[in-house]
Chain A
Amino acid sequence: MNPAKDAKPAEPKGGWRDITHVSNKRSITVFAIGAVIGLILAGVALFTAKGTSTLVVPPEDVALVNQQPIARSDFYLQIKALYNTDYAQTTPEQRKQVLNQMIREELFVQRGKELDVASVDPDVRNAMVSAVEQGIAADVIASRPSDEKLTAYYKAHQDAYSSEGRMTVRDLVFPTPDAGASAAKALRSGEAVGSVVAQYHGKDSGRVNGEEFYFAAKIHLGDAMFAAARSLLAGQASAPLTAPDGPHVLFMVSNFPPVPNSFAEARSSVLADYQKAAIARLQNGDENFFRKRANVLVAEDMR
């Protein structure tokens, strides 16, 4: 017996926990754990990786066509859309029919890819552009901005969040400039509209009718008259305004200018506008990135 040969290698003083010395036990244990973890990871990766060829249809799909899945959710949606009823109320024949249609569609889509339909068919091209744009927008919609960001956006664009102004205005037309001037003076002194119209042979133009939103009053009165009307307070009359059909005098019955909406009132609109702006920004950014990485050659006469 050779005692030197049979002796086990000396363990370090601190046992296997002492990492300043080599420990066979520790090496073997770490090796074993690493091997097990590695095997598990390899197994998971092997059976879940995209593109892995498999003979088993994953539970979330109803079929695989050349390894391309047909999603179960799309299948249910198709059934509901086609038969306008719940899945449980459909017959096996109906389900088979829908599945066959979806398989057919997938086969034709795959053939379309082989034929590179996207390079020639404007509808396919439009659909692809739209799908990529929608994908970019979906990122924005799925992430909810914080209240701080929304408040900052609201403060920066506060003018956009107000109620539509309303006014009730009488648009009176008079036969002569003198009559118009006298009527305006009389209205300003507080005479009733009816008596002023009768006294100076005026009439209502009929352009405006009762209370109107500012935008409607602007369309009905025209830009110049609306500008004059907007500045009038209730009970005030404008100076005569020249028009082809005679001098007009505006008498304001009531005027409610736009009132800024509070953040709470405008919150849903602020969120929508914030997201719209973010989508536009992101789509521009993506377009710039696509251009940057692309090799675009432009004909000389088009540069």
Chain B
Amino acid sequence: MVGVSRRDIAAAARWFRGLSRRTRFLVLGSLALAAVALIWAVLNDRQEARLIRADPDSLPAQTELMRYAVGHGRGLYQSHCSSCHGGQGQGHFMLGTPNLTDKDYLYGDGEVSDVETVVLYGIRAPDSRTWRLADMPGFAKPVPYEREKAIKPLSPGDITDLIQFLHAIASKPSDATAATRGAAIFAGRGGCWDCHANDAKGDPAIGAPSLADNIWLYGDGSDKWIFQSIAQGRAGQCPGWSGRLSPVKIRELSLYVYSLSHGSAKPKPSLP
């Protein structure tokens, strides 16, 4: 051993024996505490490494890791997400923050990797990797959609017809004549089909919500709220946490958010 001779060790032993019982207990206790802390840190580190190395979509089947991550993710959710999505993940219809506890997914299919992509890069967040493929145009504006100038404004009557069409496809009472006109606008000059799909069931690839399921991101589904959405447009934002939270924390947070809408979900089968 470099620099430490047997004589030194003997001197240290003599010094240790010379200490009172209480001091010896304190020294040994401190060392034991440090050892326990070290072991805990190593085990924690290994657990985190397993968590972060795993394919995110395979994690729901790994109960132990899931429990570990969800436990840590809960606190992260409370401090980073609950102010918009609510303490229980129930969302806020005035802010347009979605309910995270149901199985209605705006972006992707609700897999852990889909959730994690949103947690990492956000929605319409200042990050080139964010989800930013489409906004809801505001049809009561001279230029409803800056990114697609071909979309023209609609009249109040057109919007009312569209609302009747939405009621009709959601099997709610509606004016059939107005709904027919609304269907023509939906599939024609309104350009609604382009994002919300021909069947109005939305497109998770661009975050366009289904209009046929009676789940509303903004408002309560009343004519007034739907009119406002169509007239003024929508473009909600969600911050991305890439570079702000560590990769482990991002995964823990993603798994917690995933757990809000899933029980004991099984992962998709993987290739051998």
Question: Which residues of A are in contact with B by a Cβ distance under 8 Å?
Answer: 16, 25, 28-29, 32-33, 36-37, 40, 59-60, 71-73, 76-77, 80, 86-91, 130-131, 133-138, 141-142, 144, 163-164, 166, 209-213, 215-216, 219, 261, 264-265, 267-269, 271-272, 275
Query: Roughly how many angstroms separate A275 CA and B238 CA in the complex, as a whole number?
Result: 12
Contact among B113, B126, B155, B269 for A213, CB-based, below 8 A:
B155
Closest Cβ–Cβ distance, residue B215 to chain A (whole Å): 17
Residue from B34, B237, B242 within 8 A of A73 (CB atoms): B242
Contacts of B1 in A (CB 8 A): none
- Given known contacts A86-B57, A137-B126, is B246 in contact with A60 (CB within 8 Å)? yes
Q: If A25-B20, A72-B53, A86-B113 touch, does A213 touch B31 (CB 8 Å cutoff)?
A: no
- Whether B237 and A141, one on each chain, are in contact in the complex, defined by CB atoms closer than 8 angstroms, is yes
Quick check: B57 and A88 within 8 Å, CB to CB? Answer: yes
Binds A, one of B116-124, B171-179, B192-200: B116-124
* B228 pairs with A163, CB closer than 8 A: yes
> Quick check: A213 and B156 within 8 Å, CB to CB?
yes
CB neighbours of B113 from chain A (8 A):
76, 80, 86-87
- State whether the Cβ of B153 lies closer than 8 Å to any Cβ in chain A: yes
Q: Given the complex, which residues of A lie within 8 Å of B111, measured CB to CB?
A: 86
B267 proximity list for chain A (CB < 8 A): 88
Does B66 touch A at the CB level, under 8 Å? no
Query: Which residues of A lie under 8 Å from residue B20 when comparing CB positions?
Result: 25
Number of chain B residues whose Cβ lies closer than 8 Å to a Cβ of chain A:
64
Cα of A124 to Cα of B37 in the assembled complex, Å: 47
A-B CB proximity, top 4 nearest: A88-B270, A60-B247, A134-B126, A137-B126
Please tell me which one of the listed residues B55, B155, B218, B241 contacts residue A88 in the complex, with CB atoms under 8 A apart: B55
User: B56 an interface residue at 8 Å Cβ cutoff?
Assistant: yes
Q: Which residue of A has the minimal Cβ distance to B242?
A: A73
Contact A36 B237 (CB under 8 A): no
CB of B247 within 8 A of CB of A72, answer yes
Contact B126–A210 (Cβ < 8 Å): no
Contact of A210 among B49, B155, B250 (CB under 8 A): B155
Cα distance A245–B223 when bound, in Å? Answer: 41
Mark B220-244 against chain A: 1 for CB-CB distance below 8 A, else 0. 0000000010011011110111101
Inter-chain contact A28/B27, CB cutoff 8 Å: yes
Interface positions of B (Cβ within 8 A of A): 19-20, 22-23, 26-27, 30-31, 34, 37-38, 48-49, 52-53, 55-58, 83-84, 94-96, 111, 113, 116-117, 120, 122, 125-129, 140-142, 153, 155-157, 218, 228, 231-232, 234-237, 239-242, 244, 246-248, 250, 267-271
Q: Which residues of B contact A71 (CB under 8 A)?
A: 247
Determine whether the beta carbon of B126 is less than 8 Å from that of A141.
Answer: yes
Beta-carbon contact of A210 and B157 below 8 Å: yes
CB atoms of A268 and B218 under 8 A apart: yes
Contacting pair B239 A141 (CB below 8 A)? yes
Which chain B residues lie closer than 8 Å to A137 at the CB level?
126
A77 and B34 form a contact (CB under 8 A): no
| One of B116, B117, B129, B268 near A89 (C-beta < 8 A) | B268
- CB pair A89–B271 under 8 Å, yes or no, is yes
Please indicate which of the listed interface residues A73, A131, A264 has the most CB atoms of chain B within 10 Å of its own CB: A73
Question: Which residue of B83, B84, B155 contacts A211 across the interface (Cβ within 8 Å)?
Answer: B155
Cβ–Cβ < 8 Å partners of A73 in chain B = 116, 120, 242, 247, 250
Extra contacts, 17 of them, besides A77-B117, A209-B155 (Cβ < 8 A), are A16-B23, A60-B247, A72-B53, A76-B113, A80-B117, A86-B268, A87-B55, A88-B55, A88-B269, A137-B126, A138-B239, A138-B240, A138-B244, A141-B122, A144-B84, A164-B231, A268-B236
